[in-house]
Structure 1
Amino acid sequence: MFELIATVCVAGTCHAQLVPGFEAETLPECQSLAADHYGGLEASCQPIGPALDLSEVAPGVYVHIGEIAEPNPENRGDVANMGAIVGRDSVAVIDSGSTRQVGEALWRAVRKVTELPVQHLILTHMHPDHVLGAAVFAEAGADVIGHEGLARALADRQGSYLLRMEQEVGAELFKGTIAPAVNIEVADEMSIDLGLREVTLNAWPLAHTQTDLTVHVPDAELLFAGDLLFDDHCPSLDGSVVGWQTVLDDLIAFQVTQMVPGHGEVLAWPPKDLPLKRYLADLEAETRAALDKGSRLDEAAMTVAHEASKEWRLCSTYTPRNATVTYTELEWE
């Protein structure tokens, strides 16, 4: 297989990036496609690059499991779960990873399982490890869909998100990465027809973030929960601990047999045990106790949810942040 790679120069710095949609079995076929349909930038056909692993968890529903780690040069920023839903006529992709390179590797993975057009990229929330690979799919013609508050949230934070991710993965792996442009926003509920397969998107009130969106595949009895659900990876709170617990109760009652968390393994549903519910309850209760005792914010951040954190990885980083967000929320009730 061959693909088209363009040389793109910005502010005097050049890098190579995939031109999605110009894949072909042979070099001459790729060159013919490029000659007929593509121009404007220096480009050449090259052997196809690295692709992410996709596992089929239900008929026509694929999931990539990201590493349980912070983004770094070794994992190349591949730390979030992503997915693809294949219908008769088209494909919807769920989340796009933390860099353009991750987005390109996801594009190649989708192309391995289907040649149908990717008409929708659905972003489950605003965090950079889930959204910064989106440009690849937008360039291929996909509508970029998110919660009604996603475009504004990304506009407010894109500078810090881009800077932080570049620092974490390194400048070389970050080249070509830009903030996504959302062109369809979901205020409540929206349905997408992929051809003999309907997918339902639900926007949620303030919970993990202010921009949480889930993707329900009814005929597969499966829900992509984004970061409303965590497995193994310590939960990350950027919204409301009270709101998240309310939403989590709604998810527990959801009539599906599998849920895909934003991080960790695909979970059978309903679960026999849900550590996330326990963690959020302890985070709230222990923060309230710290406030009642008159503890300062810095003291609470170091002590709240200490025991609950032992069930998770990366909590030495995330729990102090979560306690800080929770303290700030509950302090002004």
Structure 2
Amino acid sequence: MFEAFIVLCALTTGATPASDGPGNACRSALLPGHRASSEAACMAFLGGPLPDWTRQPAIRPSIPFCSDQIPRPLSVSEVAPGVFVHEGKVEEVSPDNAGDIANLGFVIGDTSVAVIDAGSSRQIAEVLYAAIRTVTEKPISHLVLTHMHPDHVMGAAVFREAGATIVGAATLPRALADRAETYNENTRRDMGDRAFLGTTIVMPDRLVEGGMQIDLGRRRLVLQTWPTAHTTNDLTVLDADTGMLFAGDLLFDRHTPSLDGSLIGWLAVLDDMKTLDARRVVPGHGRPLLPFPDALEPEKRYLDTLARDTRAAIAAGSPLSAATKGIAAGERENWRLFDLYNPRNATTAYTELEWE
């Protein structure tokens, strides 16, 4: 099969589209929606306008072309019939990992495919798209975004171009709009110009408030939004056929949880999640398949400890600067990236709980 591509270069480096390679800020970007069995048929699809992001001021694009040299697909595992998951690295975004730090997935029905989360960049989403195409030629009808954080949403444009409706919580657009400039700047800085090329934030097409179901053809996905917890816009996806739950970052495994919403709310949501008719769960970070609801317990223990220690520091009159050094310190050996995330969590928890 042939796909359409365009070589992109960052104008700030002086590189040109003819010099695509690992040593400069150029890369070949995949353009979904032009897939065909021959180069001629693929090229025939390229007559229409290119996506708006190819005209960004900081990008120099080549003339589009078609090739059967598809990029190496993102690695995925079939964790249940028709349910595929990619395991992201438990790391911070860097040029070495190109932003591949979140668990991503897709579910295949009789008539179409739904993708759950889009990764940190266009580049990650392109190779997730390539992975889907190694498994099925069915149309990609939906992309579900579990929450606002860059490692889950920044590749969304790829799936819109592939024909998907982007779905998110009703509170997601405002959260993305408020943070778009910061997310773009920080992600570009952390992964480098080359990996970031072509990345642009897009808003969801369809909003969920409470619950919604998606029919993929004899395959039903149950979407549910939650009160403020990890963020203000958390959403879970349950495959009713297999009992597989995509929890997004409401659940962390091995990776220190990241509090960007409400500690009290998160603890309450974890209790409420136990009532879901799920048998196994895919966390937003960590091992890609865990038993449910048992997998919630380590995170609940950490958050309980965070709350208990924070309340004790407040009751003792400890100032925030001193309190963050000791809050939840007993959990350090249980989590990766602890010294990066726990001080932030302690600060957020202290700010919330001092007003109880």
Using structure 1 for the length normalisation, give the TM-score. Answer: 0.95
Q: Give the AA of the match of 2:85.
A: V
316, 326, 330: which one pairs with 1:293? 316
Deviation of the 1:256 alpha carbon: 1.5
**Counterpart residue number, 1:193:** 215
Deviation of the 1:302 alpha carbon: 1.4
Deviation of the 1:332 alpha carbon: 1.6
Question: Secondary structure of the residue that 1:31 maps to in structure 2?
Answer: helix
**Counterpart residue number, 1:174:** 196
33, 38, 44: which one pairs with 1:35? 44
Question: Secondary structure of the residue that 1:274 maps to in structure 2?
Answer: helix
**Counterpart residue number, 2:272:** 250
Per-residue deviation, residues 180-207 of structure 1 (Å, max 9, x unmatched): 2211111110011110011110010000
Q: Does 1:318 align with 2:341?
A: yes
Deviation of the 1:139 alpha carbon: 1.1
On the 8 A contact 2:270/2:296 being kept in 1, the answer is: no
Deviation of the 1:248 alpha carbon: 0.5
In 2, the alpha carbon distance for the partners of 1:11 and 1:187 equals 41
On the 8 A contact 2:8/2:197 being kept in 1, the answer is: no
Per-residue deviation, residues 88-117 of structure 1 (Å, max 9, x unmatched): 011100000001100101110111111111
On the 8 A contact 2:2/2:42 being kept in 1, the answer is: no
Question: Secondary structure of the residue that 1:307 maps to in structure 2?
Answer: helix
73, 76, 80: which one pairs with 1:58? 80
Per-residue deviation, residues 45-98 of structure 1 (Å, max 9, x unmatched): 121112101111111011001001001111111000000010001110000000
Deviation of the 1:177 alpha carbon: 0.6
244, 249, 254: which one pairs with 1:232? 254
Report matched runs for 1:270-285 at 5 Å: 270-271=293-294, 274-285=297-308
In 2, the alpha carbon distance for the partners of 1:160 and 1:40 equals 29
Question: Secondary structure of the residue that 1:285 maps to in structure 2?
Answer: helix
Q: Give the AA of the match of 2:232.
A: Q
Deviation of the 1:4 alpha carbon: 0.9
**Counterpart residue number, 1:331:** 354
Instruction: Call closer, same or farther: CA 1:323–1:36 in 2, change over 3 Å.
Output: closer
Question: Secondary structure of the residue that 2:241 maps to in structure 1?
Answer: helix
In 1, the alpha carbon distance for the partners of 2:3 and 2:46 equals 14
In 1, the alpha carbon distance for the partners of 2:98 and 2:11 equals 24
In 2, the alpha carbon distance for the partners of 1:43 and 1:111 equals 20
Gaps of 5+ in 1: none
Q: Give the AA of the match of 2:5.
A: I
Report matched runs for 1:1-333 at 5 Å: 1-7=1-7, 16-25=28-37, 29-36=38-45, 38-40=47-49, 42-46=63-67, 47-265=69-287, 266-271=289-294, 274-333=297-356
Deviation of the 1:144 alpha carbon: 0.8
Instruction: Call closer, same or farther: CA 1:273–1:155 in 2, change over 3 Å.
Output: closer
Question: Secondary structure of the residue that 1:115 maps to in structure 2?
Answer: coil
On the 8 A contact 1:208/1:238 being kept in 2, the answer is: yes
In 2, the alpha carbon distance for the partners of 1:272 and 1:195 equals 30
In 1, the alpha carbon distance for the partners of 2:40 and 2:227 equals 48
On the 8 A contact 1:279/1:309 being kept in 2, the answer is: no
Q: Give the AA of the match of 2:343.
A: P
On the 8 A contact 2:243/2:280 being kept in 1, the answer is: yes
RMSD between aligned residues: 1.7
On the 8 A contact 2:33/2:163 being kept in 1, the answer is: no
Q: How many residues align?
A: 330
Gaps of 5+ in 2: 18-25, 51-62
On the 8 A contact 2:256/2:338 being kept in 1, the answer is: yes
Displacement over 3 Å in runs of 4+: 7-16, 36-41
On the 8 A contact 2:10/2:197 being kept in 1, the answer is: no
In 1, the alpha carbon distance for the partners of 2:71 and 2:11 equals 26
Per-residue deviation, residues 280-330 of structure 1 (Å, max 9, x unmatched): 000001000000011111112111000113200001100000001101111
